[in-house]
Amino acid sequence: MLAEKKKVTKDTLIGDAIKNVPGARAVIEKHFGNGCFTCPGINVESISFGAMMHNLDPDKIVAEINAAQEG
């Protein structure tokens, strides 16, 4: 049985992406730094919010996460 791939959007919570999407952790660390992994905000903050806080393009981050899980 194949695992269902989760489509990540700008509204996806950072923590959900890290937990559920292979490769997302590396992309989050690349753009947001490793401080995200100890911040409780990842359970309530979206990728869009994190991108805004780091002055980054959320579409670029989402595209990288989705590409990473494609292989």
pLDDT (mean) for 47-61: 96
Report the predicted TM-score, pTM, of the whole model to 2 decimal places. 0.86
Q: What is the pLDDT of residues 6-30, one digit of tens each?
A: 789 999 999 999 999 989 999 999 9
Average pLDDT, the chain: 90
Which pLDDT band holds residue 1 (cuts at 50, 70, 90)?
A: very low
Burial class, 17, CB count within 10 angstroms (exposed 0-12 / middle 13-18 / buried 19+): buried
User: In degrees rounded to 5, what are phi and psi of residue 52?
Assistant: -65, -40
| Nearest-5° Cα angle at 13, 2 to 51 | 120
